[in-house]
Chain A
């Protein structure tokens, strides 16, 4: 991988030091009341060249705000951050020239023109030489599997196709560092799998990637290191295998049931031998994951506490990265 046009290669691709971001808003018309939200409360981390670094956390934790500061869309309130040796507050154009941004979603594309025209426009904005532009667009469309729909209007694209076009757009300037904010959100499993394969391919080509995601299995699969951010602070930063050690003494009891009430879950949470309880809905079934150091011995207690519901299945599992994440952000 070459770092182009840099006077000297920095040691790290991204360096973040005590970064903070405060949002100020006001309520009311005549007697305005100011509201202050500290979205990022002094985070620090470094990303190596060629690394796929994950930033995970619940909604509102500060992931997107962090990415926007690093991509120069927001100015930090205090602290410092450097991308490829350039300061995010001062060297804005130098950073923008060398990074790619993939935020994804339904918006962010010009929907009444074709995918190719979208890429051509952004290629021009990034200053891609005309001699290289069209070939690069063709190669990117091949990479993301949109060659046969390149000249169709974006309004006719499926969700997955739009996401792939976002990826192509994020690579149009052949960036050294790529920032991806939840690149697989809202995609069907096949499209999500293809996207993850593409991301792995980019890392193999030597790109540095900082990725945020809600999906722990995705972070586990892709990332060499993960920072867990909660309420604006980094609560853990390590490789997936090291993070799982946070829950190495824990067993997860997974219960499939119908008719569980929130009060049942609250009762579980109050048990001394329970470190965490999470629940999700799969169709009409409720899946409850209970973290406990007592292992399978705790199953009779769980069955008794959840006796008002109809339990379909109950099993023990090894803790995953998701369990470690849930413990860290709880």
Chain B
């Protein structure tokens, strides 16, 4: 439903098509006539924008919209647990972001003639799927806090850039200040993006499989924490009567 509603408003094109495309185009223009790692950063960065931006929409903005629209109470009043509804929205939004990422890849390859070799497409796909799962579960984790506030849309805006930058999708984490590295490595998508690079370059040693393990484990951990937090938050909003405030 949130996707149907989302597409009914033409504004969806801006954050989900235009913005990632512009980022990728700018990055590719900066690194014209390059291939390999920098071009891959440009494409992964643009793709990540689409995937994470959509995930945040499904996990957060949609909740804020439900609150403003008066549908949040009705949704909570159903026997379907809210955490499953949010998880479904988060996952479907992340997959929708994948379509965006594929479009960016096509534009980069055919439009800008970026040379992007993917040495092992199957394992690249595995890393991509796990990264999507990790993004979705991160969305579920954050969305429990969105239920507590009337400003979910503001919070989602604030969460976009830190994840793009810290996950190393746009440029290497080594370029970031050293004190930010622990935060970067605590994010499941960081390991997933790294696994995707390993698969693209054909470097499938221990590093790749550690990344796969960590991104998988992070997904489970985020989901477990998210489910636990949702239980607490739902009881709190029923106790404090904050569902109708908008």
Contacts and interface: CB of A to CB of B under 8 A. Distances in A.
A122 B4 contact: no
Interface in B1-36: 1, 4-5, 8-9
16 contacts: A72-B238, A73-B243, A93-B79, A96-B79, A101-B77, A107-B69, A109-B69, A110-B5, A113-B5, A113-B8, A121-B1, A125-B75, A126-B78, A126-B79, A127-B79, A127-B80
Interface string A203-217: 000000000000000
- Which of B4, B9, B85, B235 is most buried by chain A, counting CB atoms within 10 A of its CB? B4
Contact of A23 (B74, B77, B241): B241
B112 to A, nearest CB: 36
Given A24-B240, A74-B239, A112-B8, 10 more contacts: A75-B238, A108-B69, A109-B71, A110-B5, A112-B9, A113-B1, A113-B4, A118-B1, A125-B85, A126-B80
B165 interface: no
B73 interface: yes
> Interface residues of A toward B: which range?
20 to 34
A105 interface: yes
Given A110-B71, A113-B4, A74 B80 contact: no
Interface string B54-92: 000000000000000111011111111100010000000
A124 B81 CA distance: 12
Contacts of B240: 24
A96 B243 CA distance: 17
A72 B85 CA distance: 18
B238 A71 contact: no
Contacts of B239: 74-75
A284 B48 CA distance: 63
Nearest to B84: A125
Interface residues of B, number: 24
A289 interface: no
A196 interface: no
A108 B71 contact: yes
- Interface on chain B toward A: helix, strand, loop, or mixed SS? helix
Given A101-B74, A108-B71, A125-B80, A74 B238 contact: yes
Nearest to B74: A108
Interface string A69-95: 001111100000000000000000100
A315 to B, nearest CB: 43
Nearest to A121: B1
B1 to A, nearest CB: 4
A96 B71 contact: no
B74 A122 contact: yes
Interface string B204-246: 0000000000000000000000000000000100111101000
Nearest to A69: B238
Contacts of B81: 93
A112 to B, nearest CB: 4
A169 interface: yes
A120 B239 CA distance: 30
A35 B21 CA distance: 51
B5 A112 contact: yes
Contacts of A75: 235, 238-239
Contacts of A112: 4-5, 8-9
Contacts of A110: 1, 4-5, 69, 71
A103 interface: yes
B80 to A, nearest CB: 5
Contacts of B71: 107-110
Contacts of A101: 74, 77
Nearest to A39: B241
A117 interface: yes
A307 B77 CA distance: 55
A93 B77 CA distance: 9
Given A112-B8, A125-B85, A72 B77 contact: yes
B241 A74 contact: yes
Nearest to A123: B78
Contacts of B8: 112-113, 153
Interface string B173-194: 0000000000000000000000
A97 interface: yes
B241 A125 contact: no
A67 B234 CA distance: 18
The 7 A-B residue pairs with the shortest CB-CB distance in the complex, in nearest-first order: A107-B70, A112-B8, A125-B78, A121-B1, A108-B70, A97-B79, A96-B79
Nearest to A118: B1
B78 to A, nearest CB: 4
A113 B238 CA distance: 29
Given A73-B238, A74-B241, A125-B78, A103 B73 contact: yes
